């Protein structure tokens, strides 16, 4: 059973959505409570809490998605390197294989 935030964001299936909402909740609590303790203004502290939620959620969302994209790029590069290693291992196209004088004269 999935949980949809605002009716369209499926928190379970979208990468980084769950963590973003959780960190946004903590951020709103910290900002709202901090502002309330500093000024004792209830309505204004609620406004700051909503702003803190939005800023923290969006900030962590972009940070997490950026890291996820970097990780996927590294995985793709590693997958390609492993495929090339398997394909070229032992052949004369293998860049890791060092040719000696005897191998060059045999070719």
What's the pLDDT tens digit per position in 20-41? 989 999 999 999 999 999 999 9
19 belongs to a structural domain: yes
Domain coverage including residue 46: 15-87
Q: Could you tell me the mean pLDDT of each successive run of 10 residues in the chain, 107 residues long?
A: 64 81 94 95 95 94 95 95 81 68 52
2 belongs to a structural domain: no
78 belongs to a structural domain: yes
36 belongs to a structural domain: yes
8 belongs to a structural domain: no
58 belongs to a structural domain: yes
82 belongs to a structural domain: yes
**Number of domains comprising the chain:** 1
Mean pLDDT of the chain: 84
Asked whether 22 and 11 are in contact (CB, 8 A), the reply is no
77 belongs to a structural domain: yes
Nearest to 39 by CA among 50, 49, 24, 25: 49
């Amino acid at each position: 059973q999935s949980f949809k935030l605002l009716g369209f964001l499926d928190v379970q299936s979208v990468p980084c959505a769950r963590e973003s909402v959780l960190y946004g909740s903590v951020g709103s609590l910290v900002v709202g409570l901090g502002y309330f303790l500093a000024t004792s203004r209830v309505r204004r502290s609620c406004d700051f809490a909503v702003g803190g939620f939005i800023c923290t959620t969006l900030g962590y969302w972009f940070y997490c998605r950026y890291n996820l994209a970097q990780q996927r790029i590294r995985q793709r590069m590693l997958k390609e390197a492993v495929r090339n290693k398997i394909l070229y291992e032992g052949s004369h196209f293998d860049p890791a294989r060092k040719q000696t004088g005897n191998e060059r004269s045999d070719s």
